[in-house]
Amino acid sequence: LSGEILRALIDKQRNSGAAAAMLTAVMDPPGAYGRIVRENGRIARIVEARDATPDELRITEVNTSHYCFRAEKVLPLLDRLRTNNDQGEYYLTDVIRMLAQEGETVESVTSEDPDILMGINNRVHLAEATAILRRRITEKWSREGVTFIDPDSAYVEPDVSIGGDTVVWPGVFLSGRTAIGSECRIGPHVRILDSRIGDRCAVEFAVIERRDIPPDGTIGPFAYLTSENTVK
């Protein structure tokens, strides 16, 4: 879930003055997610898949469970929630129906990214979510002119920067606030933490921690550089 989509959701609620704004996604097939039921184009209610009719199950717009409420509108409704559903649970989603029935407006922001629906309930889900985030980072740098020989084997943290025309080989870990210059060759099998690598450097089979490497440097193979040693 990105800050950009959360900001869009908050802005939608604030700019519209709606009692609530919610995030939805379109999935086909929609699986077990709650369906968004609209009447005359407006959100009327959310129906959980286990409680849906056959017609409602064919709806492909689903609930992502992200909301922005006006507190004074939603808090009085919480005491009216009941457990008369297939799972015998209190559904926060029932608040959307209550608001619509009282004539309040419920706005929506629809995401085109199905990954936004991913929940993390175990280590398998965590690994899958981590892989998605890693892929987004490498795709971002690829669009800016960085070549990844094997994107699935590169680990690049969000605060890292990489210059154009740099080539990243397999088994590379770039972490912290590392900054890689342009036209570098990084890897294979390199770990760099909180370091600055100058333009046109070549680093292979090496560990670099909290170091500034000047342009046109060659590090490795089999080098271990920390803040306690010097490169000239």
Is residue 231's pLDDT more than 60? no
Q: What percent of the chain has pLDDT over 70?
A: 98
In angstroms, what is the C-alpha Rg of the chain?
25
* Residues 82 and 154 both lie in one domain: no
| Cα–Cα dist 218/231, whole Å | 10
* Model confidence pTM above 0.95: no
Is residue 81's pLDDT more than 70? yes
Q: Are 195 and 211 in contact (CB under 8 A)?
A: yes
Domain stop point among 101, 117, 133: 117
Confidence of residue 13 (pLDDT cuts 50, 70, 90): very high
Distances (CA, A) of 98 to 27, 79, 88, 102, 179: 25, 12, 18, 6, 52
pLDDT at position 175: 98
* Residues 8 and 98 both lie in one domain: yes
* Residues 21 and 93 both lie in one domain: yes
* Residues 112 and 146 both lie in one domain: no
Beta strands in the chain (DSSP E): 20-26, 35-39, 42-47, 61-69, 106-111, 147-148, 154-156, 161-162, 167-168, 172-175, 179-180, 185-186, 190-193, 196-197, 202-203, 206-209, 212-213, 218-219, 223-225
Is residue 154's pLDDT more than 70? yes
Q: Report how many domains make up the chain.
A: 2
* Residues 112 and 150 both lie in one domain: no
| Cα–Cα dist 213/197, whole Å | 5
CATH classification of the domain holding 212: 2.160.10.10
Domain extent at residue 160: 142-225
| Cα–Cα dist 163/29, whole Å | 41
- Residue 185 is encoded by which pair of tokens? 């060759």
* Residues 112 and 149 both lie in one domain: no
pLDDT digit string (tens) for 90-140?
989 999 999 999 999 999 999 888 787 777 879 998 999 999 999 999 999
CATH classification of the domain holding 69: 3.90.550.10
* Residues 34 and 98 both lie in one domain: yes
* Residues 147 and 68 both lie in one domain: no
Can you give the length of the chain in residues?
232
pLDDT at position 230: 57
Identify whether 124 is part of a domain: no
- State the burial class of residue 46 (Cβ atoms within 10 Å of its Cβ: 0-12, 13-18, 19+): buried
pLDDT digit string (tens) for 18-53?
999 999 999 888 888 899 999 999 999 999 999 999
Identify whether 174 is part of a domain: yes
What's the rounded mean pLDDT across residues 150-171? 97
* Residues 154 and 109 both lie in one domain: no
pLDDT at position 163: 98
- State the burial class of residue 42 (Cβ atoms within 10 Å of its Cβ: 0-12, 13-18, 19+): exposed
pLDDT at position 121: 78
Identify whether 215 is part of a domain: yes
